[in-house]
Amino acid sequence: MKKKFIIILFCLILSGCSPKFDQTESGIMDDITFELISKNINLNTRVEYNIKLTNNSDYTIIQNNVLFGFINDPEEHGETTNPFRVLATGNRLNIKPGESVELSVSFSPTFYKEFTESEVRIANIYIVGYVDRLKEENRFEFTTSLALQ
């Protein structure tokens, strides 16, 4: 009985010592960066952007989704809208620290025409994913801006 108690106590202590991921403390928002590689804006066919995601964190990004969108200029009452987000393609699993992935975003020019010239100078990049293990406590998400000029 005493051995069983010691083993259970030891297991509880070990489980309490496992480090938990905290995206605010880890700086993951600053450590995952996006860079515009190229753009092709053909208002007759498609609008395409190629973006590089770089994992500068200490964690392996085991799974993630990246969405690309624009924000309309504020209306008179200060409200902004984002009528669409496009899921980037070319993503992959297990992006190790220091690795980069090239992502592509492509959409119809009809969406692009809904925005003014000033609105398409900056894109909003929304990323949601997991680091190290596919567990809710390892989930992160944030939005960042990407200059398109």
Structure tokens at 76: 């008179």
- List of residues 6+ apart from 79 with CB closer than 8 A: none
Q: Quote the CATH superfamily of domain 24-147.
A: Immunoglobulins (2.60.40.10)
Q: Which residues contact 54 (CB under 8 A, 6 or more apart)?
A: 32, 33, 34, 35, 98, 99, 100
Could you report the per-residue pLDDT of 92-107, keeping only the tens digit for each?
999 999 999 999 999 8
The answer, yes or no, to whether residue 115 has pLDDT greater than 50, is yes
- Residue pLDDT, tens place only, 6-41: 444 444 444 444 445 566 556 788 899 999 999 998
pTM across the whole model: 0.77
pLDDT at res. 58: 93
Nearest 5°: the CA angle 132, 130, 49 is 120
Strand residue runs (E) in 14-121: 32-41, 47-55, 61-69, 86-87, 100-107
How many other C-beta atoms can be found within 10 angstroms of the C-beta atom of residue 23?
Answer: 17
Of residues 122 and 20, which shows the higher confidence score?
Answer: 122
Q: Which of 8, 9, 59, 14 is nearest to 32 (CA)?
A: 59
Q: Does 133 have pLDDT greater than 70?
A: yes
Can you read off the two tokens belonging to residue 9? 């106590």
